[in-house]
């Protein structure tokens, strides 16, 4: 069983974005769209996370979500939702510029929070183990 999540400290931030927009971002999409998103996420995830570490209060959950999305055994719908949220997270241009410190990542946090709620329980213990190892190795860099 995956650990209880502690990733929702900013639930109120979701109010800053239109629910319809979040819903569109999180649409699982077709297989080809998921593959395109996965490619983009693989390329941009770690550099974006490095910039966001101090502003995103749930980095461990975010990295576990990355591993869940890249796991071929993850159900297609779950994978699509996570890839939509992660693709939004790594986009250089989004609703609020990320360079605005905490405010800039608030829209990313809203999208990720909605994604985590939509896929509740799908991030497995193995994804957290891999996330912990990755975060530990990134700290050593």
- Given this model, what pLDDT does residue 14 score? 42
- Given this model, what pLDDT does residue 24 score? 83
Instruction: Output the pTM of the full model.
Output: 0.77
**Any domain includes 100:** yes
**Any domain includes 65:** yes
pLDDT digits (tens, 9 = 90+) for 58-67: 899 999 999 9
- Given this model, what pLDDT does residue 140 score? 66
Domain that holds residue 85: 13-140
- Given this model, what pLDDT does residue 1 score? 41
For residue 46, which of 12, 89, 78, 97 has the smallest C-alpha distance?
89
Specify the number of domains making up the chain.
1
pLDDT digits (tens, 9 = 90+) for 83-101: 999 999 988 654 444 444 4
**Any domain includes 85:** yes
**Any domain includes 5:** no
Per-10-residue mean pLDDT for the chain, 141 residues long?
42 50 83 91 92 83 96 95 93 52 66 92 96 87 64
**Any domain includes 4:** no
For residue 56, which of 1, 2, 13, 27 has the smallest C-alpha distance?
13
């Amino acid at each position: 069983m995956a650990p209880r999540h502690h990733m929702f400290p900013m639930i109120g931030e979701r109010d800053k974005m239109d629910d319809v927009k979040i819903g569109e971002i999180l649409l699982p999409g077709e297989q080809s769209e998921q593959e395109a998103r996965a490619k983009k996420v693989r390329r941009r995830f770690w550099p974006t996370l490095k910039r966001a570490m101090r502003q995103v209060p749930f980095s461990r959950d975010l990295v576990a979500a990355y591993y869940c999305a890249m796991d071929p055994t993850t159900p297609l719908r779950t994978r699509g939702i996570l890839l939509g949220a992660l693709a939004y997270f790594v986009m250089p241009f989004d609703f609020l510029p990320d360079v605005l410190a905490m405010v800039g990542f608030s829209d990313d946090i809203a999208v990720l929070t909605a994604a985590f709620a939509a896929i509740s329980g799908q991030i497995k213990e193995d994804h957290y183990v891999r996330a912990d190892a990755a975060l530990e190795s990134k700290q050593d860099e």
